[in-house]
């Protein structure tokens, strides 16, 4: 049994793995005609289930577990030419060519199809389902991507998509393979969308050792990025980073940190280590906002004009609202803070009408962080509003903004709603794009969850006490939704809680929550609410009261299967015509944004599609979007979603689960954000005592930022790093 053996097998499942020393026990199945399963053991750097590997090693007799394969080498197997070609032709270079069409291409024209097509494009007519549009896409894709060769097969086999390969080629030119051979981690530092894991897989196959300096530098950078992503911080303490690297990976970080700082990838400041982008963002925010406030004198007839606006809107503003309105026309920068029902929207309306009266030619722009928040702002104000990414003309491929200090916004004033959702990088980009004469009004609720990405910008701006701040505290919502506003105010002010009026709290446990949700949803539907009006929220994805299970349950209640509705399985999700769905990524070309909610109006099965690739057609508020093979993963069900995903939206009816299983996810900000999504009715399901206890719980992981420090008057601001 000591003879060295080489074989090809697929990893079925991992029995045991020690990440510290990479010792692994896994079950494999041979891919040859034998197809037998066996147990393999040994130090295996990277292993994924359902992936085929080339194994080298020997069979040994274990005294307890019998015959096992002792691995000396384990590398991911290159696919055969057919598999690689199918992935190549269904990649981003070939618009509208899905896996089904790519498979027919290869099966019809063979593995030398690239040469055949270049020699005589008429051979494409032999392929079933070929159209002139697809023929053009194939020829254009081949022209752009160059020849398919062993390099493509190698990169595809190691987890890169054809789109990523195209980006590498565009970024590094024809020598991109040589660039990767010299340093497979280089794209991680230089190109958005290339993570450490992708580059690490490549490095393994380029035989880069674990203690290689290039890998250690990438590990240091990845650890910093992951920490900031998880915690929302803009930096990590140097001592903590060094300790983690030593404990988890066993190396001193001196050389790696020195090189990364020398290259301006990282910035060290007073024991804090920043990603240079976060450091630059804080410096930009502080330097722009620390400029002297350009105060303006109000016109003599301002009070008369305000009185006329009140009469036009049939509203009488209180003193705090009038102060906020005056503040907009007095200061170049101000913050308006307030909870639901306190009249923030009516203040915006007054500002817009007064601006028209006082300066008819002034350009006032409205924006919000998400598509839904922008649409809501537009509906409430009666004016057009856009997302911040759209306003700044975000370029998806380069992750940069085309509107910037070189080509700034043409605006005399900008009003940004739902500002608590804005992170440091986005706010810095916005400030870069604004001219010095433009007014800026930020509207938010500091009690809501902070941004998903790094920073706590609204909180830092308010707590710095450096800027004009106007707070609206009086609740004016007297009809439907008044109980919700009162509960929100009680949470803000730490007053006794009251679940009255349009707020109900139904006691239930994890076993009962599904039935409770179903009953409440049915009651709401019977009361005349639509599926679009009802939103279920949960703090986590797993478990009986989790998002995944509740989406399945609610799909069967709200949109049950019948013979007239087509269905399509995408991964583990089953989509059905009539489903309420959530957009997970920005698609600028289709004008849909992360967080938008739509309805599936048609599913086109592959056998009826022109290119034999299944499609889903979704209706959003004002457009129809078609999803093909490469964008189907951008959709998920929206019957139940996380509180974070709901932020920026409001719904007539909100049902929120608060269960013991959610204990470690709950905090005051999360619960406050969840309940303030409700406009007319709020139903809480779970344990009232847990709800009350969670209100005393702040976020478990503190967000560390230095924006307040930079905003303090006497703190020296370093020169910003060169813009990328």
* Beta bridge pairs of residue 395: 400
Yes or no: say if 158 and 201 are a contact pair by the CB < 8 Å rule: yes
Q: Report the SS3 class of residue 565.
A: coil
Q: Which residue has the tokens 């990838």?
A: 265
Q: What is the Cα–Cα distance from 315 to 565, expressed in whole angstroms?
A: 48
Residues 6+ apart with CB under 8 A from 505: 499, 683, 684, 685, 688, 691
Q: 24 a known binding residue?
A: no
Closest by CA position to 19, among listed 40, 47, 53? 47
User: Torsion angle of alpha carbons 245, 250, 253, 254, nearest 10°?
Assistant: 150
Q: What is the Cα–Cα distance from 412 to 364, expressed in whole angstroms?
A: 6
Q: What is the Cα–Cα distance from 126 to 112, expressed in whole angstroms?
A: 15
Q: What is the Cα–Cα distance from 219 to 210, expressed in whole angstroms?
A: 10
Rg (CA), the chain: 29
Residues 6+ apart with CB under 8 A from 563: none
* Beta bridge pairs of residue 400: 395
Q: What is the Cα–Cα distance from 164 to 482, expressed in whole angstroms?
A: 51
Beta sheet of 333-338, edge-to-edge order: 386-387, 364-368, 413-416, 439-444, 333-338, 469-472
- Report DSSP letters for 631-645, one per residue: TGGGEEE-SEE-HHH
**How many CB atoms are closer than 10 A to CB 467?**
15
Q: What is the DSSP pairing of strand 66-76 with strand 52-62?
A: antiparallel
Q: 345 a known binding residue?
A: yes
Residues 6+ apart with CB under 8 A from 390: 374, 588, 593
Q: 483 a known binding residue?
A: no
Q: What is the Cα–Cα distance from 696 to 670, expressed in whole angstroms?
A: 12
**How many CB atoms are closer than 10 A to CB 424?**
26
Q: What is the Cα–Cα distance from 99 to 52, expressed in whole angstroms?
A: 20
Q: What is the DSSP pairing of strand 640-641 with strand 394-395?
A: unpaired
User: Torsion angle of alpha carbons 488, 493, 497, 501, nearest 10°?
Assistant: -40
* DSSP-H helix ranges across 359-481: 371-381, 388-391, 424-432, 457-463
> Residue 177 phi/psi, 5° resolution?
-65, -40
Token duo for residue 126 = 């032999």
Q: What is the Cα–Cα distance from 282 to 260, expressed in whole angstroms?
A: 20
- Report DSSP letters for 320-370, one per residue: HHHHHHHHHHH-SEEEEEE-TTSSHHHHHHHHHHHHHHH-TT--EEEEESS
Q: What is the DSSP pairing of strand 567-570 with strand 573-576?
A: antiparallel
Q: 571 a known binding residue?
A: no
Token duo for residue 252 = 């001193």
Yes or no: say if 562 and 583 are a contact pair by the CB < 8 Å rule: no
Residues 6+ apart with CB under 8 A from 136: none
Q: What is the Cα–Cα distance from 414 to 442, expressed in whole angstroms?
A: 9
- Report DSSP letters for 70-127, one per residue: EEEEEEEPPPPHHHHHHHHHTSTTSTT--HHHHHHHHHHH-TTHHHHHHH-GGGGGGS
Can you say which residues are annotated as belonging to the binding site for ATP? Answer: 341-345
Can you say which residues are annotated as belonging to the binding site? Answer: 341-345
């Amino acid at each position: 049994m000591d003879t060295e053996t080489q074989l090809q097998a697929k990893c079925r499942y991992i029995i045991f793995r020690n990440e510290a020393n990479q010792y692994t026990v896994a079950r494999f199945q041979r891919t040859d005609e034998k197809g037998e399963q066996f147990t393999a053991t040994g130090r295996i750097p990277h292993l994924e289930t359902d992936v085929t590997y080339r194994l080298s090693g020997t069979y040994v007799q274990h005294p307890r577990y019998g015959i096992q394969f002792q691995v000396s080498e384990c590398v991911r197997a290159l696919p055969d030419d057919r598999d690689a070609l199918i992935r190549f032709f269904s990649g981003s270079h070939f618009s509208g060519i899905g896996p089904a069409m790519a498979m027919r291409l290869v099966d019809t024209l063979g593995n030398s199809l690239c040469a055949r097509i270049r020699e005589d494009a008429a051979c494409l007519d032999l392929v079933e389902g070929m159209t002139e549009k697809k023929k053009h896409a194939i020829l254009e894709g081949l022209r752009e991507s160059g020849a398919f060769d062993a390099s493509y097969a190698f990169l595809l086999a190691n987890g890169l998509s054809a789109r990523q390969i195209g980006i590498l080629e565009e970024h590094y030119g024809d020598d991109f393979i040589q660039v990767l051979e010299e340093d497979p981690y280089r794209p991680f530092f230089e190109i958005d969308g290339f993570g450490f894991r992708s580059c690490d897989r490549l490095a393994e196959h380029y035989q880069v050792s674990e203690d290689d300096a290039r890998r250690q530098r990438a590990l240091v950078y990845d650890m910093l990025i992951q920490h900031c992503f998880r915690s929302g911080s803009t930096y990590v303490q140097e001592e903590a980073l060094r300790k983690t690297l030593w404990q988890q990976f066993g190396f001193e970080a001196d050389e790696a940190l020195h090189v990364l700082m020398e290259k301006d990838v990282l910035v060290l400041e007073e024991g804090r280590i920043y990603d240079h982008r976060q450091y630059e963002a804080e410096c930009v925010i502080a330097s722009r906002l620390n400029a002297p406030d350009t105060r303006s004198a109000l016109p003599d007839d301002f009070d008369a004009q305000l009185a006329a606006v009140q009469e036009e809107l049939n509203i009488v503003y209180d003193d705090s609202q009038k102060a906020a309105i005056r503040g907009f026309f007095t200061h170049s920068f101000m913050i308006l803070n307030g909870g639901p029902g306190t009249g923030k929207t009516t203040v915006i309306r007054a500002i817009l009408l007064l601006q028209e009266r006082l300066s008819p030619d002034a350009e006032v722009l409205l924006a919000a962080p998400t598509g839904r928040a922008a649409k809501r702002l537009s509906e409430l104000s009666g004016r057009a509003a856009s997302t911040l990414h759209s306003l700044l003309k975000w370029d998806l491929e380069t992750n940069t903004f085309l509107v910037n200090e070189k080509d700034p916004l043409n605006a005399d004033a900008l009003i940004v709603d739902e500002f608590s959702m804005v992170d440091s990088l986005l706010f810095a980009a916005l400030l870069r794009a604004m001219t010095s004469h433009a007014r800026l009004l930020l509207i938010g609720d500091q009690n809501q969850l902070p941004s998903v990405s790094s920073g706590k910008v609204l909180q830092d701006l308010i707590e710095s006490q450096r800027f004009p701040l106007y707070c609206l505290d009086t609740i004016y919502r007297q009809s439907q939704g008044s109980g919700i506003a009162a509960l929100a105010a009680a949470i803000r002010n730490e007053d006794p809680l009251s679940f009255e009026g349009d707020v109900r709290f139904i006691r239930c446990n994890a076993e009962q929550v599904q039935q409770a949700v179903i009953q409440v949803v049915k009651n709401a539907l019977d009361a005349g609410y639509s599926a679009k009006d009802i939103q279920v929220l949960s703090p986590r994805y797993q478990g009986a009261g989790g998002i995944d299970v509740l989406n399945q349950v609610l799909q069967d209640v709200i949109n049950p299967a019948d013979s007239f509705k087509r269905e399509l399985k995408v991964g583990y999700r089953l989509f059905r015509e009539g489903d309420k769905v959530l957009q997970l990524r920005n698609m600028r070309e289709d004008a849909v944004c992360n967080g938008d909610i739509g309805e599936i109006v048609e599913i086109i099965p592959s056998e009826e599609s022109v290119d034999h690739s299944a499609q889903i057609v979704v209706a959003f508020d004002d457009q129809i979007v078609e999803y093909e093979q490469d964008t189907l993963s951008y959709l998920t069900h929206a019957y139940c979603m996380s509180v974070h995903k709901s932020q920026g939206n409001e719904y007539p009816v909100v049902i929120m689960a608060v269960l013991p299983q959610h204990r470690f996810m709950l905090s005051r900000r999360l619960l406050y954000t969840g309940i303030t999504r409700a406009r007319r009715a709020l139903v809480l399901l779970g344990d009232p005592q847990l709800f009350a206890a969670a209100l005393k719980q702040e976020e478990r992981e503190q967000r560390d930022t230095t924006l307040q420090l930079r905003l303090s008057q006497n703190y020296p601001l370093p020169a910003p790093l060169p813009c990328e």
